[in-house]
């Protein structure tokens, strides 16, 4: 069994050009946050464009278990929340499936409600580090009882009468930052989070939208984010922008597949998320932004991506890592089709995602004829140039949606097909991946 259902082996084959328009689903980060903040707000929050991937559906279910009412009517999700610090104790264990964002943000949100809850997930999630969340939550007075290294299943005992804290992030993680800010909502006084590297700032933006005061002071050394506790939240109407991390898959597929020219409309280009597109352009990809505009306080554009036969390997600047952390797997596929080496330093966090993404990609790329060097926090892909990537491998997915989609992209342009052990996890973040890619002309199928 895969994360949420049967194992689905898949194959992708050399394709003769991707063409058309790709409407990718809503942003996963913003979708989780819409449900969680909606659940912390009395009154009805309405959300359209929500990603209906399994990760977000698991968060919706969890919010119901904590007392919110979550329901889809027509195309709109309605969330009737309980108010800040007023989560109800759930009757059952909370299963967050495959989602690190889901469980970490929810643990933060409930840590300052005086209730006890137990969290679990699939084999991938239960192997991921949680001390990075429970350590700062302990500063608020929340107690946690997990397995070794704080891993799930884990029981969290929320703090009553918590006071705001000051916390310097030991790693570049928007999940940890967000968990601390969400815990700070029900605490008295200020909660301050200090981050050395800018990570995605969707929580800060959305918290302000709901009526909290979150101020970010940017100095040469750090970003100092100050939240005033116990705000008056007002329900919101939210339109979730489409996900740049999902957009990266059709975009990269078009860049490496001969004869391609696709449009991916309405993609958020928040600078804390858009590093992949800058990197692809530096490599020589024919990628342009059309119809640039601002919507809901976020920069947006329609992306046009065309086949780019003369890609060059580059060194990806270390300070860009956080803004494209989820896109390194698919970047490593593009790198295989570039001339020369693509060096990716400063990416230790890739080792603690849904899988060890450096290891998972290196294994599959090597099986497909690509040389990869790696260290604890860096890796280098030796590109072979367009037309010279062998493929012909069966690769492991490791319960990781982005590993699965990256290798499906690779098979579209490698000389021989790529077979995937299990495409099931793709449904966690991009449930329409197969029909969307097939609609563009990708030769991708489930193995029978």
Position with the least CB separation from ligand S3P: 29
Single out the catalytic residue among 326, 359, 388, 422: 326
Q: Which stretch binds ligand S3P (CB under 6 A): 173-181, 280-288, 372-380, 440-448?
A: 173-181
Whose CA is closest to 320, among 378, 274, 381, 275? 275
The two tokens of residue 87 are 């989560």
Alpha helix segments (H runs only) across 69-201: 100-110, 131-139, 174-185
Return the ∠ at Cα 439 (arms to 54 and 271), rounded to 5°.
Answer: 60
**Shortest Cβ 29–ligand S3P spacing (Å):** 3
Q: Does 356 bind ligand S3P (CB under 6 A)?
A: no
Of the two residues 326 and 434, which places its CB atom closer to ligand S3P in the complex?
A: 326
CA distance 207 to 53: 23
Residue 41 beta carbon to ligand S3P: minimum distance, rounded to whole angstroms: 19
Least gap, CB of 363 to ligand S3P (angstroms) = 20
Residue 2 or 173 with smaller CB distance to ligand S3P = 173
User: Nearest approach, Cβ of 354 to ligand S3P (angstroms)?
Assistant: 8
Contact with ligand S3P (CB under 6 A): which of 174, 253, 303, 330? 174
- Tell me whether residue 252 or residue 338 sits nearer to ligand S3P (CB atom): 252
Q: Which bin fits 149, alpha (ψ -120 to 50), beta or left (φ > 0)?
A: left
Interface of this chain with ligand S3P, residues 310 to 339, rule: CB under 6 A: 325-326
Interacting positions 247-306 with ligand S3P (CB under 6 A): none
Residues in contact with 219: Cβ distance below 8 Å, sequence separation at least 6, in sequence order: none
Considering only the stretches 75-83, 167-175, 288-296, 432-440, report the one whose residues sit in contact with ligand S3P under the rule CB under 6 A. Answer: 167-175
Question: Binding residue for ligand S3P (CB under 6 A) from 339, 349, 359, 443?
Answer: 349
Give the DSSP per-residue string, 92-126: S-EE-TT-HHHHHHHHHHHTTSS-EEEEE--TTGG
Query: Does position 101 bind ligand S3P by CB under 6 A?
Result: yes
Judged by CB under 6 A, the number of residues near ligand S3P is: 11
34, 175, 226, 397: which one binds ligand S3P (CB under 6 A): 175
The structure tokens listed for 82 are 């309980």
Considering only the stretches 45-53, 123-131, 169-177, 385-393, report the one whose residues sit in contact with ligand S3P under the rule CB under 6 A: 169-177
Whole-number Cα distances in Å, 164 to 86, 167, 181? 17, 10, 9
The angle at the Cα of 81, spanning 78 to 82, to the nearest 5 degrees, equals 160
Whether 326 is catalytic? yes
Q: How far is the CB of 384 from ligand S3P (least distance, A)?
A: 28
C-alpha 105/C-alpha 203 separation (Å) is 10
Pick from 55, 184, 183: nearest CA to 109? 183
Range 85-90, long-range pairs (CB < 8 A, 24+ positions): 85/112, 85/113, 85/185, 85/186, 85/230, 86/113, 87/39, 87/40, 87/113, 87/115, 87/158, 88/115, 89/115, 89/116, 89/117, 90/62, 90/65, 90/66, 90/115, 90/117
Q: By C-beta, is 329 or 391 nearer to ligand S3P?
A: 329
Length of the chain: 448
Residue 203 Cβ, how far from ligand S3P at the closest point, in Å?
A: 7
- Closest distance to ligand S3P from the beta carbon of 225 (Å): 14
The reply on whether position 178 binds ligand S3P by CB under 6 A is yes
Would you tell me which residues interact with ligand S3P (CB under 6 A)? 29, 101, 173-175, 178, 199-200, 325-326, 349
Q: Which positions are catalytic?
A: 326
């Amino acid at each position: 069994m895969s994360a949420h259902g049967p194992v689905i082996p898949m194959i992708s084959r050399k394709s003769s050009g991707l063409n058309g328009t790709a409407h990718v689903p809503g942003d996963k980060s913003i979708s989780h946050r819409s449900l969680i903040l909606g659940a912390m707000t009395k009154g009805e929050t309405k959300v359209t464009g929500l990603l209906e991937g399994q990760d977000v559906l698991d968060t919706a279910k969890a919010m119901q278990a904590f007392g919110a009412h979550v329901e889809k009517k027509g195309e709109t999700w309605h969330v009737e929340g309980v108010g800040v610090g007023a989560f109800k104790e759930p009757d059952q264990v909370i299963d967050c499936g495959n989602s690190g964002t889901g469980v970490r943000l929810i643990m933060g949100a409930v840590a300052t409600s005086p209730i006890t809850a137990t969290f679990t997930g699939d084999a991938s999630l239960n192997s991921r580090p949680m001390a990075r969340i429970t350590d700062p939550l302990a500063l608020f007075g929340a107690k946690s009882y997990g397995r070794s290294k704080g891993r799930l299943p884990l029981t969290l005992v929320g703090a009553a009468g918590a006071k705001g804290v000051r916390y310097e992030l030991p790693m570049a993680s928007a999940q940890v930052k967000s968990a601390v800010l969400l815990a700070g909502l029900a605490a008295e006084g200020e909660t301050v989070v200090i981050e050395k590297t800018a990570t995605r700032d969707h929580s800060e933006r959305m918290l302000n939208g709901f009526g909290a005061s979150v101020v970010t002071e940017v100095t040469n050394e750090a970003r100092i984010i100050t939240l005033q506790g116990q705000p008056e939240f007002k329900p919101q109407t939210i339109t979730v922008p489409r996900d740049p991390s999902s957009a990266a898959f059709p975009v990269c597929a078009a860049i490496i597949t001969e004869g391609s020219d696709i449009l991916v409309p309405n993609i958020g280009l928040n600078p804390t998320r858009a590093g992949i597109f800058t990197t692809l352009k530096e490599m020589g990809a024919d990628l342009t932004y059309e119809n640039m505009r601002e919507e809901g306080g976020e920069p947006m554009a329609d992306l046009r991506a065309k086949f780019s036969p003369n890609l060059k390997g580059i060194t990806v600047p270390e300070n860009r890592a956080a803004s494209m952390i989820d896109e390194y797997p698919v970047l490593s596929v593009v790198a295989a089709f570039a001339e020369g080496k693509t060096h990716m330093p400063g990416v230790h966090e890739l080792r603690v995602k849904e899988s060890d993404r450096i290891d998972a990609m290196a294994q599959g790329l090597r099986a497909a004829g690509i040389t990869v060097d790696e260290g604890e926090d860096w890796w280098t892909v030796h590109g072979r140039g367009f037309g010279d990537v062998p493929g012909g491998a069966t690769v492991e997915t490791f319960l990781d949606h982005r590993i699965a989609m990256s290798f499906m992209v690779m098979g579209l342009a490698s000389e021989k097909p790529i077979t995937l052990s299990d495409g099931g996890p793709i449904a966690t973040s991009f449930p329409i991946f197969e029909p969307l890619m097939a609609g563009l002309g990708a030769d991708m199928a489930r193995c029978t």
